[in-house]
Amino acid sequence: MPPRSSTALRLWNSRGFLYFNPGYLRPFSLVPSIASTAIAPHFSSSPRRRLNCPQSLLSRCWSPHSLPRSTFAPFSAAAVTMGSIERITEHLEKPELDDRSYRVIRLANKLEALLVHDPETDKASASVNVNVGNFSDADDMPGMAHAVEHLLFMGTKKFPKENAYNQYLASHSGSSNAYTAATETNYFFEVSATADSGDGKPNGQSLTNGATNGSANGSTDDSTDGSTNGTTNGTTNGADALAESDTSEPSSPLYGALDRFAQFFVSPLFLESTLDRELRAVDSENKKNLQSDLWRLMQLNKSLSNPGHPYHHFSTGNLKTLKEDPQQRGLEVRSEFIKFYEKHYSANRMRLCVLGRESLDELEKWVEELFSEVENKDLPQNRWDDAQPWRDEDLGIQIFAKPVMDTRSLDIYFPFLDEETLYEYQPSRYISHLIGHEGPGSILAYIKAKGWANGLSAGVMPICPGSAAFTISIRLTKEGLQQYREVAKVVFQYIAMLKEREPQQWVFDEMKNLAEVEFRFKQKSPASRFTSRLSSVMQKPLPREWLLSGSLLRKFDPDLIKEALSYLQPDNFRLIIVSQEYPGDWDSKEKWYGTEYKVGKIPQDFMADIRKALTTTPETRLSELHMPHKNEFVPTRLSVEKKEVSEPAKTPKLIRHDDHVRLWFKKDDRFWVPKGTVHITLRNPLAWATPANLVKSKLYCELVKDALVEYSYDAELAGLDYHLSASVFGLDVSVGGYNDKMAVLLEKVFTSMRDLAVDPNRFHIIKERLSRGYRNAEYQQPFYQVGDYTRYLTSEKTWINEQYAAELEHIEPGDIANFFPQLLSQNHIEVLAHGNLYKEDALKMTDVVENILHSRPLPQSQWHVRRNIIIPPGSNYVYERTLRDPANINHCIEYYVYVGSITDDVLRAKLLLFAQMTDEPAFDQLRSKEQLGYVVWSGARYSATTIGYRVIIQSERTAEYLESRIDNFLIQTGETLNNMSDKDFEGHKRSVINKRLEKLKNLSSETSRFWSHIGSEYFDFLQNESDAANVRALTKADIVDFYKRLIDPRSPTRGKLSIYLNAQGGAQPKVEGKDQQSRLVSLLGKQLESAGFAVDTSRLGSVFESAGLSGSNTDQILAVLKEFLHSEMSLSEQQTAPVLEQARQNIGLHVKQLGIETADQDSKPVTDGVVKSKTDRKVTYITNVPEFKARMVMSAGPIAVTDISEFEDFDAKL
Q: Which sequence positions are flagged as catalytic?
A: 149
Q: Which amino acid, one-letter code, is at 1005?
A: S
Is residue 756 within 8 A of residue 704, CB to CB? The reply is yes
Residues 430, 459 contacting (CB under 8 angstroms)? no
Query: ∠ at Cα 122 (120, 128), nearest 5°?
Result: 105
For residue 1032, give Cα distances in angstroms to 203, 499, 504: 14, 67, 62
Beta bridge partners of 409: 475, 578
Asked whether the beta carbons of 1071 and 1154 are under 8 A apart, the reply is yes
CA 529, CA 353: separation in Å to the nearest integer? 11
Q: What are phi and psi of 733, to 5 degrees?
A: -130, 135
Collapsing DSSP to helix, strand or coil, 239 comes out as: helix
What is the separation of C-alpha 629 from the centre of its chain, rounded to a whole number of angstroms?
Answer: 36
Task: Report the distance separating Cα 489 and Cα 564, nearest Å.
Answer: 20
DSSP per-residue letters across 762-814: HHHHHHHHHHHHHHHHTTS-HHHHHHHHHHHHHBSS---HHHHHHHHTT--HH
Calpha distance 342→345 (Å, rounded): 6
Peptide bond just before 1198 cis, omega within 30 deg: no
DSSP helix/strand/coil, 1096 = coil
Q: Helix H segments across 205-344?
A: 238-243, 253-262, 272-289, 293-303, 319, 325-328, 333-344
Per DSSP (E only), the strands in 381-531 are 397-401, 409-416, 453-464, 467-476
CB 948 within 8 A of CB 220: no
Could you tell me whether strands 876-882 and 1180-1181 are parallel, antiparallel, or unpaired per DSSP bridges? parallel
Contact 651, 520 (CB under 8 A): no
Q: In this structure, what is the dihedral angle of CA atoms 420, 426, 427, 429, given to the nearest 10 degrees?
A: 120
For residue 518, give the H/E element and its range: helix 505-520
- What CA–CA distances, in Å, run from 240 to 159, 1076, 1121? 12, 36, 31
Is residue 914 within 8 A of residue 1039, CB to CB? The reply is yes
* Strand boundaries in 397-539, DSSP class E: 397-401, 409-416, 453-464, 467-476
Q: What count of other Cβ atoms lies within 10 Å of the Cβ of residue 1112? A: 18
Interatomic CA distance for residues 951 and 385, integer angstroms: 48
Q: Is 78 exposed, middle or buried (0-12, 13-18, 19+ CB in 10 A)?
A: exposed
Length of the chain: 1214
DSSP state of 1209: -
- Strand partners for 868: 795
Q: How far is CA 682 from the centre of its chain?
A: 30
The residue among 136, 391, 1024, 1098 whose CA lies nearest residue 650 is 1024
Are 126 and 352 within 8 A, CB to CB?
yes
| Cis upstream peptide for 403 (omega within 30°) | no
